[in-house]
Structure 1
Amino acid sequence: MVLTLAGCGNAGNSTESENVDTTEKVNTEAESEEQNTEPAEGADGTEKSETKILVAYFSATGTTKQIAEQIAEVTGADLFEIMPVDAYSSEDLDYGNDDCRANREQNDSTSRPEISNTIENIENYDTVFIGHPIWWGEEPRIIDTFLESYDFSGKTMIDFCTSGGSGISTSEGNLKELCSSDVNWLAANRFSSDTDVDTVRDWVQSLGIETKNNEWRKR
């Protein structure tokens, strides 16, 4: 189920595991016999997907991944994990070390860690959730890389994060600055590591967005 945005000492406000496969949800649509049916593509361009919602996220230790999967579950969205070319090791995330990789990146606002995978059909999505941990009060720089890699013009976007206490307001402002002015931003939200799916469902419902999975509204 796979198909994202400060040095580090406090970057440890997030807990995150990695290496998740991109998963697309596949629906088939009946067409007239005279028409040729060509499958639409999921986020990685390999499978058919009818959903208009994408959950894109970066997760260094697994916490954000968990929330992203819950959002996808209740909305029927496609998942896309933002995967760095160079995966973050435990040493890279040693926030007590001022010279650890995460601290160096967060201290450099121009840092743009390279992403190894791509979304082949961003134009197919009307609504995009962007998920990430909080490192030193901000989104990790790889989220900035992601936002600068695609055109989100005219889309509805929702920022969400995981952290042990730091808020999302700084990240929310940063993400808005990286996108065009015609993006429709809905209210962002911070989740803790022990957030359950019912809490996620209540939040998604409060956004008032159209979802493919209607069953979640009945639970």
Structure 2
Amino acid sequence: MKNKISRRQFLQAAGASAAALLLASCSGNSASSVSSSSVASSAASSVAASSAAASSEATSTVTTTGKTLVVYFSATGTTQGVAQTIADTVGADLFEVVPSDPYTSDDLTWTNNDSRVSREHNDEGLRAVALESTDVDGWDDYDTVFIGYPIWWGIAAWPMSSFVAVNDFTGKNVVPFCTSLSSGIGQSGELLAELAGTGSWLDGYRFSSSTTANDIAALAESLSL
């Protein structure tokens, strides 16, 4: 059965989920922007830019015939909040990418050259971050997959690369999205698509910590989800 809902249904779902959305930052596994004194403080800050304009620039459309999944890595909470809003709005399942060795607040202090993220940034050999799991139950049943991550030094946070590299996206429509304080999505989605080597990857989208369910509904509508 085609998994497609009307504009009115999207807006109703958006209104219901907006009240429940909490985008508070934390030091656990959630999203961040590496663009202030630390990744954690960057993700905690909100910006006025709206993602609605980005949604209107979509040049591709997706019509789902199967299930939808939101896969996300989050370092401080922002990407987690956006991922949950997407899942609530379009009726998707969630899968969190969790490093085997989670990042601490000190690890995320990008201004410290000795911090974990700085060392990983400076040495690409350290970016192959081990994950607790890369296996998604029922992976073959999903035909649309949202891939969410914070932007680190202009690219997708590398734990997401670890997930993408070992999964087969054949036959799937893939929608990258990032969270950041000010940086755009850049080529992060394209680089992940090259790493995957399979799947139909759409243009990516940037969300801020002020993203609302209405913004998500506008994106979903533009993709014909």
The normalised TM-score by structure 2 is 0.69
Distance in 2, matches of 1:108 and 1:120, equals 33
Residues 38-57 of structure 1: matches in 2 within 5 Å?
52-57=67-72
State the Cα distance separating 1:121 from its structure 2 match: 2.5
Where does residue 17 of structure 2 map in the other structure?
none
2:149 is aligned with 1:121: no
**CA–CA separation in structure 2 for the residues paired with 1:14 and 1:174:** 23
8 Å contact from structure 2 (residues 66, 143) kept in 1:
no
Match for residue 204 of structure 2?
188
Match of residue 132 from structure 1 = 149
Give the gaps of 5 or more residues in structure 1.
17-49, 210-219
1:67 maps to 2:82? yes
1:15 aligned residue:
43
Distance in 1 (CA, whole Å) between partners of 2:129 and 2:155 is: 15
What is the Cα deviation at residue 107 of structure 1?
2.7
Residue 95 of structure 1, CA deviation? 1.2
Task: Name which one, 1 or 2, has greater alpha-carbon Rg.
Answer: 1
Which of the numbers 119, 141, 145 marks the counterpart of 1:104?
119
Kindly state the Cα deviation for residue 194 of structure 1 after the two structures are TM-superposed: 1.0
Instruction: Choose from 160, 163, 169 the match for 1:143.
Output: 160
Distance in 2 (alpha carbons) for counterparts of 1:67 and 1:112: 25
2:194 pairs with 1:166: no
Residues 106 and 140 of structure 1 are in contact (CA less than 8 Å); yes or no, is this contact kept in structure 2?
A: no
Counterpart residue type for residue 207 of structure 1: L
**Within 1, Cα distance between the matches of 2:66 and 2:95?**
13
Which amino acid is the alignment partner of residue 142 of structure 1? P
Would you say 1:78 and 2:106 are equivalent positions?
no
| Cα distance change of structure 1 residues 154 and 202 upon mapping to structure 2, 3 Å threshold | same
Range with greater deviation from structure 2 (66-75 or 50-59)? 50-59
CA drift at 1:14? 5.2
Is the 1:54–1:125 contact (alpha carbons within 8 Å) kept by the matching residues of 2?
Answer: yes
2:109 is the alignment partner of 1:94: yes
CA contact under 8 A between 1:133 and 1:139: conserved in structure 2? yes
Q: Choose from 195, 207, 211 the match for 1:178.
A: 195
1:157 aligns with 2:174: yes
- Greater per-residue helix proportion: 2
Moved more, 107-116 or 129-138: 107-116
Distance 2:117 2:181 in 1: 17
Distance of aligned partners of 1:14 and 1:106 in 2 relative to their CA distance in 1, 3 Å threshold: farther
Amino acid at match of 2:96: E
Matching of residue 58 in structure 1 with residue 73 in structure 2:
yes
Deviation per CA, 1:88-118: give whole Å up to 9, x if none. 1011001110121112222333421011023
RCO comparison, higher one (Cα < 8 Å, 6+):
2
The alignment yields a C-alpha RMSD, in angstroms, of 2.2
Could you tell me which runs of 5 or more consecutive residues in structure 2 were left unpaired when the two chains were aligned.
1-30, 45-64
Deviations 1:39-80 (A, max 9, x none): xxxxxxxxxxx9611000000000000000010011110001
TM-score normalised by structure 1 residue count: 0.71
- Aligned equivalents of 2:67, 2:104: Cα separation in 1: 34
Q: Secondary structure at the match of 1:126?
A: strand
The answer as to whether partners of 1:161 and 1:189 remain within 8 angstroms in 2 is yes
Pairs aligned (count): 169
| Structure 1 residue matching 2:110: 3-state secondary structure | coil
Q: Distance in 2 between matches of 1:9 and 1:198?
A: 26
